[in-house]
């Protein structure tokens, strides 16, 4: 655990001690704010719960995008700058390295989500929503972020440069987001498969409305576990090259 935290702490510091990390946060907050103003705070009367639901919908999408940008550097940048050798020659296991990197990205995502809290707080103060819906919405965003970050971590672990990692990770995340479209144009058995894989329409939607389903939690955790395992295998395979 000590090794995981060590890697996570350094990588998180690398985000927040450089302009790069704050630039990502600034752009993400700008997008969140614009979308919140344009789509959630419309001139027509809405229930506070619907406004909050739209906020989580928008913020979840931004979080997935940020996840791809944040994770593209995790391993690919280390390879580009030659520092990967420090990690590979250390006594830490490949799993510890992957978990450390994943944790650093999740710490960054948590920071981002904390900074978006003023928007639900405004709805809470000026409207009529339960704190539970806010908490569940953020739980959903964190779970979906976790899945997105895990996908990005894997993409970075198999890529030689950051652009390739971003493209690969971005395409995969997009695939998971667009699965409900694929479900509409597919026949059985893929129709049901794609429908169940859809990040938004199937898995994240209940969280937006303040509902926690075990199957949705299990799904995001499974995707996270699966891609982190693949990332670990990718690192291990390189030792046998």
| Contact residues: other proteins, CB under 8 A | 2-3, 6-7, 10, 14, 17-18, 81-93, 239-241
Q: Give me the least distance between CB of 111 and other proteins, in Å please.
A: 18
Residue 45 burial (10 A CB sphere; 0-12, 13-18, 19+): exposed
The nearer residue to other proteins, 187 or 241, going by C-beta atoms, is 241
Neighbours of 55 (CB within 10 A): 25
Could you identify the residue written with the tokens 């144009």?
Answer: 185
The nearer residue to other proteins, 20 or 124, going by C-beta atoms, is 20
Q: Where are the alpha helices (DSSP H) in 116-213?
A: 118-126, 131-157, 162-177, 179-185, 190-197, 205-208
Looking at the chain, the number of H-run helices and the number of E-run strands are 13, 0
The nearer residue to other proteins, 34 or 85, going by C-beta atoms, is 85
Q: Give me the least distance between CB of 14 and other proteins, in Å please.
A: 6
Q: Give me the least distance between CB of 90 and other proteins, in Å please.
A: 5
Residue 93 DSSP code: -
Count of residues for the chain?
Answer: 241
Q: Give me the least distance between CB of 70 and other proteins, in Å please.
A: 16
Q: How far apart are CA 72 and CA 141, in angstroms?
A: 20
The nearer residue to other proteins, 41 or 107, going by C-beta atoms, is 107
For 215, the enclosing helix (H) or strand (E) is helix 214-239
Task: Using only the alpha carbons of the chain, give its radius of gyration.
Answer: 19
Q: Give me the least distance between CB of 169 and other proteins, in Å please.
A: 23
The nearer residue to other proteins, 25 or 134, going by C-beta atoms, is 25
Q: How far apart are CA 131 and CA 237, in angstroms?
A: 46
The nearer residue to other proteins, 35 or 70, going by C-beta atoms, is 70
């Amino acid at each position: 655990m000590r090794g995981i935290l060590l890697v996570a702490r350094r990588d998180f510091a690398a985000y927040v001690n450089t302009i790069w990390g704050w630039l990502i946060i600034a752009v993400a907050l700008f997008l969140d704010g614009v979308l919140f103003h344009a789509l959630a705070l419309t001139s027509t009367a809405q229930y506070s719960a619907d406004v909050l639901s739209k906020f989580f919908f928008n913020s979840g999408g931004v979080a997935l995008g940020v996840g791809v940008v944040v994770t593209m550097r995790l391993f690919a940048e280390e390879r580009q700058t030659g520092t990967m050798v420090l990690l590979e020659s250390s006594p830490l296991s490949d799993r510890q390295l992957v978990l450390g990197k994943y944790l650093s990205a999740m710490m960054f995502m948590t920071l981002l989500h904390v900074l978006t809290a003023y928007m639900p707080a405004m709805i809470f103060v000026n409207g009529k929503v339960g704190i539970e819906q806010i908490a569940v919405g953020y739980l959903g965003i964190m779970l979906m972020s976790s899945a997105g970050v895990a996908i990005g971590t894997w993409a970075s672990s198999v890529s030689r440069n950051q652009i390739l990692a971003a493209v690969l990770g971005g395409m995969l995340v997009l695939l998971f987001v667009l699965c409900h479209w694929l479900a509409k144009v597919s026949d059985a058995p893929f129709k049901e498969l794609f429908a169940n894989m859809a990040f938004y329409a199937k898995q994240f939607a209940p969280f937006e409305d303040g509902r926690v389903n075990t199957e949705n939690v299990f799904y995001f955790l499974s995707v996270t576990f699966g891609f982190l395992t693949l990332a670990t295998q990718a690192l291990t395979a390189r030792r046998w090259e």
